[in-house]
Amino acid sequence: MEPVEIGLWGVPLAVLGGAIRVSTPFLFVSLGECLTERSGRINLGLEGTLVFGAMTGYALAYESGSPYVGVLAAALAGACFGLLHGWICKFRGVNDIAIGIALMLLGMGLAFFFGKPYIQPVAPDLPAINFGWWSDIPQVRAALQVNVLFLLGGLLAVAMAWMFRSTRVGLTLRVVGDSTDAARAMGLDPDRVRLLATAAGGALAGIGGAYLSLYYPGSWNEGISSGQGLMAIALVIFARWNPINCFWAALLFGGAGALGPALQSVGVSEGYYLFFAAPYVLTLGLLILTSSPDRAMQGAPLELSLTK
Amino acid sequence: MSRALRTEAGAIGIETLGMTMRFGEFTALDDVSITVPAGSFHALLGENGAGKSTLVKCIMGFYRATAGELLVAGQEARMTDPRVAQALGLGMVYQHFTLVPSLTAAENLVISRADAPAVIDWRRERARLAAFMETMPFKVPLEQPVSRLAAGEKQKLEILKQLYLGNRFLILDEPTSVLTPDEADEVLGHVRGLTEAGEITVLMITHKFREVTAFADAVSILRRGRHVGGGKVGEISVEEMSRAMMGKAPEVSKRARAGTERREVMRLRGVRAQDRTGLKSIEIEDVALNSGEILGIAGISGNGQMELMEVLTGQRRTMGGEITVKGAPFGATRAEARTHRMRYLPEEPLRNACAPRMSVAENLAFRIFDEGRNGKPAFWKNDRAIARNATTLIEGFKVKTASPAARIASLSGGNVQRAVLGRELTGEVDALIVSNPCFGLDFAAVSTIRDRLMAARNAGTAILLISEDLDEIMELSDRILVMSEGQIAFETPVETADIGEIGRHMAGHGE
């Protein structure tokens, strides 16, 4: 098909397409972190889990020939990291933030160590669904290539919001996140709930990593993550611990990440690196704008060490 | 059997036989036998450390008694676990709420049930809750997050929760400490009604004689772990009760107001600030604090007193208005507080006015450590001056500590309070801002703290006393202001103050 000249319209279109493409890892990591934080614990190690998930996913997809096996393996690896974090944190005097940073470095280190042999080989990609079939314009088609995992993430956000409202598991999680004492008085074991929530959060971050290596950018190398795992944690705060808000916030961050390449494609090359920094500037800006010296954070789980 | 073990409507009675609890060498509970017949309202009186909480914790299975038996509805029960108590229909309402703040009342009720369904059908649960509420004497808004409920509503919800869980023997631990007199009467009146109907049996821990005589059927009194008295309400006088509780006739306070000279020390005009949720604001129109008086600010917790305290101590930004001290604008910096000799005793001083892991001596030196001779800033720490200051204050304010080098966090609440008050009252003090100085202290500690405040007032210090304890306000203040919804709702001199009227203003029904 001939490329069609659509001028400046290409920018919003590319940003939209980029938002959908780039946002998926943000979405999975932030949903995982949202789950963990709602139980009253913060897992800063998700960046490491993401990178390790990317490596595991790529390696197993290559070895087995199926990208889905890769995604599953990444989820499993992520759950293991979550379990480790949750298990260490149950000991007295252990700080969840410090453990998170340690696990972030461990995850990245292990991923680089085991991932060396997989930098060259090519693993099968995850398939995308083409929602742009009705259009003749290739840019529209390109923008509407939507990966299955993105749709899955959207559904997951809705399901998680429902879970927090209408299931015993969800309410238990909120009780533990809001008041350890009340949870104990009810006969719940806060450490166990947090362990499982951290494991589930880790699994989701692992899936986010598999998306990176198996779809976009779609290869394994040591620079695969550009801090998505850390930004997603800021994103959860911005989304006020609400899974639906996490979805929109992930889209916004994804869009910001796509701004640089989109502008470059229409020939704006000045301040190129500045536009690439957009997601980081956005993270900083949003955290400053949504904070306040005078009032407590709304919607924050009260047992979170961040808000204490 | 002459005593009721179980009423027709389902209330159950309990009995302890020779209940004893030792922690190592220390005997917290010594051979205590009390009987609470089904459908009765029983009060448990005693000072702090008398063993009241140890007794109820043994009943509820949080502790395993060293010796003694517990009979529930006539049957011997082995309380090995709180869940056993729960299964037998014993429930406890704690002094500090155990509701989850961000969950709604309905969510709190449903999730507290042992058989909460995996997927909650809210339509069905709401219908069931509504049917349950129909049978209850008081109502609570079910769809609001608990954090938005008033203290009285939370207390009612705690009691409702126990009934919803099917518990028929309730232990209430100082249930009215956070309520206004009117709210307290309402809640206890309803509880009394439920016991009269034979729905529940109640064991209430309290130290308020008025509540015992007005609502309870019988009373048991503990002192130093022993059961020292009790009987039917009406057959035992308040004097007998207080003597049994304290071991001697209560000391009549020698506190007296001396005539003092009144000069304006501090004035707040149109001071506005946001509260901690950021949704509401506090607004103080015009308040003047004079030397040689105690200005009491009454109010139910959460009506802006904490924010007012934070504004005065410089912990909260103001959005407008001005604070002046002796005519000069006051920004609550350390330098200004020092020039104007303003001092503070915030609530929970261990958290708000101490460095818990530093020593008693170091904590006592917070006002002097950076001041050298002639008020010039000091660079080197003067250990000798710090030690001297500590010895004087520890003696002068009767602070019980193992040594001045002990961590201040190892002291009991009353001793921390006395230590900080001592620090704040050293030297010349023009104004002292105090918040809930006696919360959680026993009679003796309360008495010395109040004596000190009165002595400071008589010496000419201006004292602003923010307190949730209306009795304290009535006892100490020269003038009383009532704070409600972030504003001063009412002002009265103490001579003409009427407790009922103040209570109504506290609850926001002034007009």
Strands B41-45 and B201-206: parallel
> A182 vs B99: CB contact, 8 Å cut-off?
yes
Cβ neighbours of B276 in A, within 8 Å: 294-296
| B378 phi/psi in degrees, rounded to 5 | -100, 145
Q: Please indicate, yes or no, whether residues B310 and B422 belong to a single structural domain of this protein.
A: no
Which residue from B280, B335, B334 is spatially nearest to B308, judged by alpha carbons?
A: B280
> A166 vs B316: CB contact, 8 Å cut-off?
no
The region of weakest confidence among A127-136, A211-220, B214-223 is A127-136
pLDDT digits (tens, 9 = 90+) for B70-84: 999 989 988 887 778
Q: Report how far residue B82's alpha carbon sits from residue B59's, in angstroms, rounded to the nearest whole number.
A: 9
Cβ neighbours of B275 in A, within 8 Å: 295
The region of weakest confidence among A50-64, B117-131, B444-458 is B444-458
Q: How far is CA B453 from CA A275, B336, B352, in A?
A: 63, 23, 19
Q: Please indicate, yes or no, whether residues B54 and B166 belong to a single structural domain of this protein.
A: yes
The minimal CB distance from B111 to the residues A171, A181, A296 is found for A171
B87 pLDDT higher than 70: yes
What global pTM score does this model have? 0.78
Element (H, E) at A59: helix A46-64
**Exposed, middle or buried, B49 (CB in 10 Å: 0-12/13-18/19+)?**
middle
**Exposed, middle or buried, B511 (CB in 10 Å: 0-12/13-18/19+)?**
exposed
H-only helix segments in B50-200: 52-60, 82-87, 105-112, 122-134, 151-164, 181-196
Looking at residue B36, its pLDDT comes to: 94
Q: How many residues does chain A have?
A: 308
Looking at residue B177, its pLDDT comes to: 72
Write down the residue that tokens 């780039």 correspond to: A22
In a domain, residue B8? The reply is no
Strands of the sheet containing B281-290, edge to edge, are B328-329, B320-325, B264-274, B281-290, B487-493, B479-484, B294-298, B462-467, B431-435, B342-345
In a domain, residue B437? The reply is yes
Contacts of B54 (CB under 8 A, 6+ apart): B21, B28, B29, B63, B225
In sign, the C-alpha dihedral spanning B73, B78, B82, B86 is negative
Q: Please indicate, yes or no, whether residues B45 and B107 belong to a single structural domain of this protein.
A: yes
The region of weakest confidence among A259-268, B111-120, B329-338, B448-457 is A259-268
pLDDT digits (tens, 9 = 90+) for B275-297: 776 678 899 999 999 999 999 99
Cβ neighbours of A298 in B, within 8 Å: 277-278
Structure tokens at A71: 């995604």
Q: How far is the alpha carbon of A304 from chain B, nearest alpha carbon, in Å?
A: 13
Cβ neighbours of B145 in A, within 8 Å: none
Q: How far is CA B134 from CA A229, B131, B156, B193, in A?
A: 51, 5, 15, 16
Amino acid at A274: L
Structure tokens at B123: 């339509």
Q: Report how far residue A29's alpha carbon sits from residue A25's, in angstroms, rounded to the nearest whole number.
A: 6
Q: How confident is the model at residue A52 (pLDDT cuts 50, 70, 90)?
A: very high
Structure tokens at B282: 């506090």
Structure tokens at B479: 């003038």
Check: CB of residue B325 under 8 Å from CB of residue B415: no
In a domain, residue B358? The reply is yes
Q: What is the CA radius of gyration of chain A?
A: 20
Looking at residue B109, its pLDDT comes to: 93
Which residue from A203, A257, A251, A271 is spatially nearest to A227, judged by alpha carbons?
A: A257
Strands of the sheet containing B218-223, edge to edge, are B90-93, B169-173, B201-206, B41-45, B218-223, B226-232
Q: Report how far residue B494's alpha carbon sits from residue B435's, in angstroms, rounded to the nearest whole number.
A: 19
Q: Which of A171, A290, A291 to mutate to test the interface with B (most CBs of B within 10 A)?
A: A171
> A294 vs B82: CB contact, 8 Å cut-off?
no
Number of domains observed in the structure of chain B: 3
| B167 phi/psi in degrees, rounded to 5 | -80, 135
Q: Report how far residue B426's alpha carbon sits from residue B335's, in angstroms, rounded to the nearest whole number.
A: 17
Over residues B312-325, the mean pLDDT reads 90
Looking at residue B277, its pLDDT comes to: 67
H-only helix segments in chain A: 10-38, 46-64, 67-89, 96-115, 138-143, 148-166, 168-178, 180-185, 190-214, 228-238, 243-265, 272-276, 278-289
First to last CA, chain B: 54
Contacts of A276 (CB under 8 A, 6+ apart): A260
Cβ neighbours of A166 in B, within 8 Å: 119-120, 122
Q: How far is the alpha carbon of A148 from chain B, nearest alpha carbon, in Å?
A: 27
Write down the residue that tokens 């008694």 correspond to: B65
> B98 vs A181: CB contact, 8 Å cut-off?
yes
Structure tokens at B484: 């409600």
pLDDT digits (tens, 9 = 90+) for A178-200: 988 888 878 789 999 999 999 99
Looking at residue A194, its pLDDT comes to: 96
> A175 vs B118: CB contact, 8 Å cut-off?
no
Contacts of A44 (CB under 8 A, 6+ apart): A96, A97, A100, A101, A103, A104, A230, A233
Structure tokens at B496: 């003409």
Q: Please indicate, yes or no, whether residues B418 and B439 belong to a single structural domain of this protein.
A: no
Q: Half-sphere exposure of B372 toward its Cβ, with a 13 Å CA cutoff?
A: 6
Q: How far is CA B348 from CA A144, B356, B482, in A?
A: 59, 12, 22
pLDDT digits (tens, 9 = 90+) for B104-133: 999 999 998 888 899 999 999 999 999 999
> A294 vs B120: CB contact, 8 Å cut-off?
no
Looking at residue B251, its pLDDT comes to: 56
Torsion of CA B153, B154, B156, B158, to 10 degrees: 170
> B101 vs A186: CB contact, 8 Å cut-off?
no
Each domain of chain A, given as residue ranges in start order, spans 7-289
Query: What are the percentages of helix, strand and coil residues in chain B, rounded to 5?
Result: 35, 25, 40
- Mean of all residue pLDDT scores within chain B: 87
Structure tokens at B473: 């306000």
pLDDT digits (tens, 9 = 90+) for B123-165: 999 999 999 999 887 788 899 888 878 777 888 899 899 989 9
ipTM more than 0.90?
no
Over residues A88-111, the mean pLDDT reads 94
**CATH code for position B495:** 3.40.50.300
Q: How confident is the model at residue A293 (pLDDT cuts 50, 70, 90)?
A: low
Check: CB of residue A65 under 8 Å from CB of residue A230: no
- Angle at which helices B413-424 and B443-458 pack, to 10 degrees? 10
Q: Where are the beta strands (DSSP E) in A60-115?
A: none
- Mean of all residue pLDDT scores within chain A: 89
| B324 phi/psi in degrees, rounded to 5 | -120, 145
The residue segments making up the domain with residue B501 are: 264-341+429-511
Q: Please indicate, yes or no, whether residues B269 and B239 belong to a single structural domain of this protein.
A: no
Percent of chain A with pLDDT over 70: 95
| Three-state secondary-structure class, residue A162 | helix
Cβ of B118 under 8 Å from any chain A Cβ? yes
In a domain, residue B450? The reply is yes
In a domain, residue B6? The reply is no
The region of weakest confidence among A157-166, A189-198, B298-307 is B298-307
Query: Which residue on chain B is closest to A38 by alpha carbon?
Result: B102
Strands B41-45 and B26-36: unpaired
Looking at residue A1, its pLDDT comes to: 46
| Three-state secondary-structure class, residue A88 | helix
Which residues does residue B482 pair with via DSSP β-bridges, in sequence order? B298, B490
Which residues does residue B55 pair with via DSSP β-bridges, in sequence order? none
Looking at residue A181, its pLDDT comes to: 82
Q: Half-sphere exposure of A246 toward its Cβ, with a 13 Å CA cutoff?
A: 31
> A294 vs B276: CB contact, 8 Å cut-off?
yes
The region of weakest confidence among A22-31, A264-273, B244-253 is B244-253
Q: Which of B57, B83, B111 to mutate to test the interface with A (most CBs of A within 10 A)?
A: B111
Q: Please indicate, yes or no, whether residues B418 and B433 belong to a single structural domain of this protein.
A: no
Check: CB of residue B190 under 8 Å from CB of residue B183: no
| Three-state secondary-structure class, residue B231 | strand
Q: Taking a contact as any Cβ pair under 8 Å apart, which residues of chain A between 165 and 194 contact chain B? A: 166-169, 171-172, 174-175, 178-179, 181-182, 185-187
Q: How confident is the model at residue B2 (pLDDT cuts 50, 70, 90)?
A: very low
Cβ of B316 under 8 Å from any chain A Cβ? yes
Q: How far is the alpha carbon of B301 from chain A, nearest alpha carbon, in Å?
A: 17
Contacts of B508 (CB under 8 A, 6+ apart): B484, B485, B489
Cis amide linkage into residue A217, ω under 30° from 0: yes
The whole-angstrom distance between residue B297's C-alpha and the CA centroid of its chain comes to 16
In a domain, residue B292? The reply is yes
> A171 vs B116: CB contact, 8 Å cut-off?
yes
Q: Report how far residue A237's alpha carbon sits from residue A246's, in angstroms, rounded to the nearest whole number.
A: 9
Q: Where are the beta strands (DSSP E) in A54-183?
A: 128-130, 145-147
| Three-state secondary-structure class, residue B326 | coil
Q: DSSP character for B303?
A: S
Check: CB of residue B72 under 8 Å from CB of residue B88: yes
Contacts of B121 (CB under 8 A, 6+ apart): none
Q: Please indicate, yes or no, whether residues B319 and B363 belong to a single structural domain of this protein.
A: no
A154 pLDDT higher than 90: yes
Q: How far is the alpha carbon of A182 from chain B, nearest alpha carbon, in Å?
A: 5
A68 pLDDT higher than 90: yes
B511 pLDDT higher than 60: no
Q: How confident is the model at residue A251 (pLDDT cuts 50, 70, 90)?
A: very high
In a domain, residue B1? The reply is no
Query: Which residue on chain B is closest to A184 by alpha carbon?
Result: B98
Looking at residue B432, its pLDDT comes to: 95
A306 pLDDT higher than 80: no
Q: Please indicate, yes or no, whether residues B123 and B237 belong to a single structural domain of this protein.
A: yes
Query: Which residue on chain B is closest to A174 by alpha carbon?
Result: B103
Check: CB of residue B329 under 8 Å from CB of residue B322: yes
Check: CB of residue B131 under 8 Å from CB of residue B162: no
In a domain, residue B7? The reply is no
Q: Please indicate, yes or no, whether residues B54 and B95 belong to a single structural domain of this protein.
A: yes
Q: How far is CA B367 from CA A176, B371, B420, B426, in A?
A: 41, 8, 11, 9
Query: Which residue on chain A is closest to B310 by alpha carbon?
Result: A294
Q: How far is the alpha carbon of B171 from chain A, nearest alpha carbon, in Å?
A: 14
Strands B487-493 and B479-484: antiparallel
Q: How confident is the model at residue B1 (pLDDT cuts 50, 70, 90)?
A: very low
Over residues B91-104, the mean pLDDT reads 83
Cβ of B87 under 8 Å from any chain A Cβ? no
| Three-state secondary-structure class, residue A124 | coil
The minimal CB distance from B107 to the residues A171, A181, A302 is found for A171
> A295 vs B101: CB contact, 8 Å cut-off?
no
Q: Report how far residue A251's alpha carbon sits from residue A30's, in angstroms, rounded to the nearest whole number.
A: 12
The region of weakest confidence among A273-282, B57-66, B476-485 is A273-282
Structure tokens at B241: 């009760």
B500 pLDDT higher than 50: yes
Q: Please indicate, yes or no, whether residues B371 and B331 belong to a single structural domain of this protein.
A: no
CATH class label, A7-289: mainly alpha
